[in-house]
Structure 1
Amino acid sequence: MNGEREVLEDGRRPARGPDEAAGSHAPEKPVRRGRTPGVPRNAAAARDAVVRRLRERFRGRREEGPAEVVVGDALLVTSELVTNAVRHGGGLTGFTTEITDEGLLLTVSDASTRPPVTAERDPAVVPVGGYGWLLVRRLAKRVSVTYLPDGKHIAALIPLA
């Protein structure tokens, strides 16, 4: 996420971001899998993990930590990515949080190789739903999608300042 393009162990390169994530892929039926240890059960548990990570990072520091609106953005991105993995991605298969010099790095994995929906939506045509990926792209500093044979990882960097 430092501007260099990641190369996977097998030599493949992940998508460079949301625009590449819009590439065409054959439709697939999501595969349901058993719960993986260490992976939150749902979006609420994932948000709790983010709050814990932020508390750990800023505990005992003189500065107050990130503003409430920044924490709210991080929690909204977390909710959208996890909910989309569960609803549209065949299930949540991985979840990590990391605090970097640039902000909070969330990585959410699911069991689908289908790209996130990136089409702009007209509220007059689609009055409910379909805005989660747009919110993620708007609130995150950077978003990348890495496709794997059995799913994908979506990494989102949320600035904390």
Structure 2
Amino acid sequence: MRRATRTFLSQRGVPDATIEDAELVVSELVTNAIQHGGGEVRVAISASNGSVQISVTDASATPARPRQVDVDSESGRGLTLVTFIVSCWKVSADGTTVHCALPFSGCAS
């Protein structure tokens, strides 16, 4: 997923720093979808109007939400990490899709 994300966004002139953030966000959201959603996982990425939009859909009926984890915990940080990277994120009403946006400006490096 990381390579496909990088290639897609590079071809659209997205700056490298934003691409790196997008790679991490996609990786975390897909990992969460696989671990907690079960079934098929779909990823949609677009770049327009100075923003990268990412949507990850899974089969879960439970909405995604960040959780507090112990310092020693080896998992559970995915959505918390996403909230620090993206400008905004939301979960669809049915709880199956996480949508987020990463703004960027200027030309690719």
TM over 0.5: yes
Equivalent in the alignment of 2:82:
136
Q: What does residue range 66-105 of structure 1 map to in structure 2 within 5 Å?
A: 66-67=15-16, 69-105=17-53
Equivalent in the alignment of 1:154:
98
More helix by proportion, 1 or 2? 2
Q: What does residue range 18-33 of structure 1 map to in structure 2 within 5 Å?
A: none
Shift of 1:52: 2.1
Q: Deviations over 1:78-105 (max 9, x none)?
A: 1000111111111343211110224110
User: 2:83 corresponds to which letter in structure 1?
Assistant: R
Q: Secondary structure, in 3 states, of the residue corresponding to 1:118? A: coil
After TM superposition, the score normalised by the length of structure 1 is 0.58
User: 1:103 corresponds to which letter in structure 2?
Assistant: S
RMSD of aligned residue pairs (Cα, Å): 1.8
Contact 2:10 2:19 in 1 (8 A): no
User: 1:66 corresponds to which letter in structure 2?
Assistant: P
**Structure-1 separation of matches of 2:67 and 2:96:** 19
**Structure-2 separation of matches of 1:55 and 1:114:** 34
- Aligned CA distance change for structure 1 residues 96 and 118 (closer, same or farther; 3 Å): same
Structure 1 gaps of 5+ residues are 1-45, 59-64
Q: What does residue range 3-42 of structure 1 map to in structure 2 within 5 Å?
A: none
User: 1:75 corresponds to which letter in structure 2?
Assistant: E
Deviating above 4 A after TM superposition, structure 1's stretches of 4 or more consecutive aligned residues are none
Q: Which has the larger radius of gyration?
A: 1
State percent identity of aligned pairs.
31
Contact 2:26 2:54 in 1 (8 A): yes
**Structure-1 separation of matches of 2:39 and 2:48:** 27
**Structure-2 separation of matches of 1:157 and 1:79:** 15
